[in-house]
């Protein structure tokens, strides 16, 4: 067996976009790999033929990151494949070209083009498509103007690149950039006429849509705003006949997660946020579109309906809910794992997967289920779920990691918090472990805070185990998977969660005498970065720290980040005007004069979730007080650096962290 290296990340395969063909014979999915020389990701469509059980690569252009099925043997995907279109893109022209390709091979041919950046597309019939596209009021429909006008617009847009004019909040969004007066807008595209017709208006942003089985209407979730986006959404239906809209929601604030047609009714998941705020778990409801009567299906349901199990070996996106037959299939996170479930119109829920791990995406057709999973401490593979609940692995893209590399599996234990609440935690022993030796240890704190750690492959943790470290991680109060009350730490940041983390470290030291209490490190990103900043201001237990994409000052976060103005108020029940002192009390920067721990700060200059100013403030504070510290800024990266950053940047990040710990703990 070989040592697992930081650079092995470059060899991993990531899977996403799983989708079954209309006739149920083929399974399409996207395979992503890293190109370290070009410092980018290579994405291609693969096919699994259920008839002969074979997997094969369909495309090879390296840009096919998503697709839909046009018919039983034809796929449609976005791409830029000819030199003319590449030059248009380079010149700043906005458009999305779609290509189609047969499953049995052959060259992809251009199907059509629309003058917007398309986020999602669904086929309505042989002529019409429903698009969710990014609308920017500054940019005209290029298909409706001549070449001279187009060049004039492009010239003006280039001149405007030096300016951003803002008149609403939020005005930027992590991973997207500046979003002022930009909206995710619904359109109908008529292929034969090459005509695009908007459904929603210029100020409405759509987050989700579903097409009725009879193809007569669209169900969609939206939020309309002009100056300030409120945390609420509306459920609407659009009828093609007569181009008629109908709002299905009440006037009180409600957060819709998703909604689907189920039989003659509509099933949706959502919450009024009254008891636990924006992090409150949703419930399922059934709505009659004719009478607008709403029935609560799951009064006692208290789980998130998405996968929040953390890992750094994913890339791309997949669905987390779908209707098939008389059921809505959906994902939940429970304790340390995510599972696939289904619910019927009466609210009966069945858990379809029993084994722990992570469901990273799935598709179902006439009861036939396939999913992308992190199972048995392997990296992502495709699985088939049989009716007897057995999970059959059908790919081996990443099998080499398990068979050739040293992997140390986590050891789980439970312990009691100070108030008697049962908590769970893990340690990962170093490779070639010797119980007679003392080892340095790293406490790794997850983001969120409403996410979880579980028993899935985590590259950075395995690298540290291969470097001779014990890795410690836990799910303190604030984490997902155990209901809204457990996750609710509003007004308690740095208190109950800090106590849980410190209790966990004490428990590790008590249970495992080979952990050297004089060589402890701590790290985390996002909320984990906040907690790292908080910890070093409240204890000298740790001899080195690495704070990633962190929060230092809740007052500055309120006024600068994409979610700041509503997240801070919700999570602290305070604004800079209503309770300035409370926000400052919960800010790690307040305690920077107490810090003795050498700290590395890692931040990205396009991180609008935890803006660069947060890292700079904490770094400056520590330098001011003479603490050994360093700030590494990654240009062109955002909040998702560790999960979806450029390959070389992800390698450099982990090298910087590991070197910092080696300097102080080895």
Helix and strand counts by DSSP (H, E) for the chain: 13, 38
Euclidean distance between CA atoms 175 and 633, whole angstroms: 16
pLDDT at residue 521 in the model:
98
pLDDT at residue 596 in the model:
98
Euclidean distance between CA atoms 445 and 528, whole angstroms: 5
The rounded Cα 21 to chain-centroid distance in angstroms is 26
The encoded tokens of residue 600 equal 């590395």
Between strands 74-78 and 96-102, the pairing is: antiparallel
Residues 487, 276: contact at Cβ < 8 Å?
yes
Euclidean distance between CA atoms 131 and 145, whole angstroms: 21
Domains in the chain, number: 1
Closest listed residue to residue 343, CA positions, set 276, 297, 309: 297
Instruction: List Cβ<8 Å contacts ≥24 apart for 319-322.
Output: 319/361, 319/362, 319/363, 320/361, 320/362, 321/258, 321/260, 321/269, 322/260, 322/362, 322/363, 322/364
Beta-strand runs (E) in 230-274: 234-239, 244-247, 255-262, 265-271
Q: Which residues lie below 8 Å from residue 92, measured CB to CB, with a gap of 6+?
A: 154, 157, 158
In a domain, 101, yes or no: no
Residues belonging to the chain: 666
Residue 172 has pLDDT above 80, yes or no: yes
Euclidean distance between CA atoms 157 and 81, whole angstroms: 24
Closest listed residue to residue 376, CA positions, set 399, 397, 342, 350: 399
Q: What is the pLDDT of residues 422-474, one digit of tens each?
A: 999 999 999 999 999 999 999 999 999 999 999 999 999 999 999 999 999 99
Quote the radius of gyration of the chain (alpha carbons, Å). 25
Which one-letter DSSP state was computed for residue 13? -
Residues 4, 10: contact at Cβ < 8 Å?
no
Q: Which residues lie below 8 Å from residue 187, measured CB to CB, with a gap of 6+?
A: 114, 116, 130, 131, 132, 133, 196, 197, 198, 199
Q: What is the rounded average pLDDT of the residues 528-536?
A: 98
In a domain, 489, yes or no: yes
| Tokens 């304790």 -> residue | 335
Is pTM beyond 0.95? Reply is yes
Please tell me the least confidently modeled range out of 159-168, 219-228, 526-535, 629-638.
159-168
In a domain, 395, yes or no: no
pLDDT at residue 377 in the model:
96
Inter-CA distances, 602 with 415, 476, 550, 658, Å: 32, 23, 8, 12
Instruction: Give percent helix, percent strand, percent coil of the chain, each to the nearest 5.
Output: 20, 35, 40
Sheet of strand 265-271: strand arrangement: 255-262, 265-271, 283-287, 294-296
Q: What is the pLDDT of residues 592-649, one digit of tens each?
A: 999 999 999 999 999 999 999 999 999 999 999 999 999 999 999 999 999 999 999 9
Residue 389 has pLDDT above 80, yes or no: no
The pLDDT > 70 percentage for the chain reads: 100
Residue 138 has pLDDT above 90, yes or no: no
HSE value, Cβ hemisphere, 13 Å, CA-based, for 18: 25
pLDDT at residue 146 in the model:
82
Sheet of strand 14-20: strand arrangement: 14-20, 26-35, 40-49, 54-57
Query: Cis ω on the peptide bond leading into residue 170 (within 30° of 0)?
Result: yes
pLDDT at residue 166 in the model:
96
In a domain, 164, yes or no: no
Q: Which domain holds residue 652?
A: 407-665
Q: What is the pLDDT of residues 183-236, one digit of tens each?
A: 999 999 999 999 999 999 999 999 999 999 999 999 999 999 999 999 999 999
The pLDDT > 90 percentage for the chain reads: 93
Confidence class for position 4, pLDDT limits 50, 70, 90:
very high
Q: What is the pLDDT of residues 7-40, one digit of tens each?
A: 999 999 999 999 999 999 999 999 999 999 999 9
Euclidean distance between CA atoms 661 and 642, whole angstroms: 17
In a domain, 629, yes or no: yes
Q: What are phi and psi of 465, to 5 degrees?
A: -65, -35
In a domain, 524, yes or no: yes
Q: What is the rounded average pLDDT of the residues 373-396?
A: 93
pLDDT at residue 271 in the model:
97
Which one-letter DSSP state was computed for residue 617? H
Euclidean distance between CA atoms 297 and 661, whole angstroms: 50
For residue 210, list its beta bridge partners.
219
Residue 266 has pLDDT above 80, yes or no: yes
Q: Which residues lie below 8 Å from residue 28, measured CB to CB, with a gap of 6+?
A: 17, 18, 19, 20, 21, 45, 46, 47, 48, 58, 67, 69, 75
Q: What is the pLDDT of residues 307-340, one digit of tens each?
A: 999 999 999 999 999 999 999 999 999 999 999 9
DSSP secondary structure letters along 231-243: S--EEEEEETGGG
The encoded tokens of residue 236 equal 């609407």
In a domain, 397, yes or no: no
Q: Which residues lie below 8 Å from residue 414, measured CB to CB, with a gap of 6+?
A: 422, 423, 424, 425
User: In this structure, what CATH number is given to the domain that contains residue 471?
Assistant: 3.40.50.1820
In a domain, 194, yes or no: no
Kind and range of the H or E run holding 157: helix 147-160
The encoded tokens of residue 30 equal 């996207």
Collapsed DSSP state (helix, strand, coil) of residue 615:
helix
For residue 471, list its beta bridge partners.
428, 442
């Amino acid at each position: 067996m070989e040592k697992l290296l930081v650079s092995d990340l470059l060899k991993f395969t990531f899977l996403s976009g799983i989708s079954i063909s209309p006739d149920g014979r083929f399974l399409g999915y996207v395979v992503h790999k890293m190109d370290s020389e070009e410092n980018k990701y290579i994405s291609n469509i693969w096919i699994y033929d259920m008839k002969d059980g074979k997997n094969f690569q369909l495309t090879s252009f390296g840009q096919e990151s998503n697709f839909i099925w046009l018919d039983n043997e034809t796929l449609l995907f976005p791409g830029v494949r000819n030199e003319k279109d590449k030059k248009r893109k380079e010149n700043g022209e906005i458009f999305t070209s779609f290509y189609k390709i047969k499953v049995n091979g052959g060259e992809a041919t251009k199907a059509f083009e629309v003058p917007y950046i398309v986020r999602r597309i669904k086929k309505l019939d042989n002529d019409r498509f429903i698009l969710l596209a990014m609308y920017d009021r500054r940019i005209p429909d290029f298909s409706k103007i001549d070449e001279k006008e187009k060049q004039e617009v492009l010239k003006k847009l280039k001149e405007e690149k030096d300016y951003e004019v803002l008149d609403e909040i939020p005005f930027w969004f992590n991973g997207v950039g500046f979003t002022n007066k930009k909206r995710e807008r619904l359109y109908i595209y008529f292929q034969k006429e090459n005509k695009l017709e908007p459904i929603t208006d210029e100020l409405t942003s759509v987050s989700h849509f579903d097409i009725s089985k009879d193809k007569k209407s669209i169900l969609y979730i939206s939020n309309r705003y002009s100056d300030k986006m409120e945390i609420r959404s509306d459920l609407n239906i659009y009828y093609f006949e007569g181009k008629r809209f109908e709002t299905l929601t009440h006037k009180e604030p409600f957060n819709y997660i998703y909604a689907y047609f189920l039989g003659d009714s509509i099933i949706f998941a959502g919450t009024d946020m009254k008891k636990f705020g924006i992090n409150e778990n949703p419930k399922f409801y059934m709505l009659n579109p004719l009478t607008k009567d709403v029935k609560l299906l799951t009064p006692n349901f208290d789980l998130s309906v998405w996968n929040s199990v953390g890992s750094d070996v994913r890339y791309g996106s997949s669905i987390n809910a779908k209707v098939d037959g008389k059921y809505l299939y959906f994902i939940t996170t429970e304790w340390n794992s995510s599972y696939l479930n289904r619910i019927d119109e009466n609210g009966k829920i069945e858990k379809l997967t029993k084994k722990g791990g992570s469901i990273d995406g799935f598709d179902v057709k006439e009861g036939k289920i396939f999913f992308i999973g992190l199972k048995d401490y392997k990296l992502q593979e495709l699985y088939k779920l049989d009716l007897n609940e057995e999970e059959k692995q059908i790919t081996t893209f990443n099998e080499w990691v398990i068979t050739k590399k040293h992997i140390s599996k986590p050891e789980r234990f439970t312990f009691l918090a100070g108030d008697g609440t049962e908590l769970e935690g893990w340690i990962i022993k170093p490779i070639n472990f010797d119980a007679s030796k003392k080892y340095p240890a790293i406490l790794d704190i997850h983001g969120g805070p409403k996410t979880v750690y579980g028993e899935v492959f985590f590259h950075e943790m395995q690298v540290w185990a291969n470097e001779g470290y014990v890795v410690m991680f836990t799910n303190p109060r604030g984490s997902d998977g155990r209901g809204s009350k457990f996750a609710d730490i509003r007004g308690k940041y740095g208190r109950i969660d800090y106590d849980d983390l410190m209790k966990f470290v004490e428990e590790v030291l008590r249970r495992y005498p080979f952990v050297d209490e004089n060589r402890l490190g701590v790290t985390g990103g996002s909320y984990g970065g906040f907690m790292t900043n908080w910890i070093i201001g409240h204890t000298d237990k740790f001899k080195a720290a690495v704070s990633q994409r962190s929060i230092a000052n809740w007052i500055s976060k309120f006024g600068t980040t994409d979610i700041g103005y509503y997240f801070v108020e919700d999570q602290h029940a305070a604004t800079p005007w209503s309770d300035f002192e409370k926000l400052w009390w919960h800010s790690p920067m307040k305690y920077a004069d107490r810090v003795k721990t050498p700290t590395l700060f890692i931040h990205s200059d396009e991180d609008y979730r935890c803006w660069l100013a947060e890292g700079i403030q904490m770094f400056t504070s520590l330098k001011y007080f003479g603490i050994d510290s360093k700030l590494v800024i990654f240009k062109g990266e955002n909040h998702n650096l560790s999960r979806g950053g450029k390959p070389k940047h992800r390698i450099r990040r982990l090298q910087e962290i590991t070197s910092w710990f080696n300097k102080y703990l080895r």
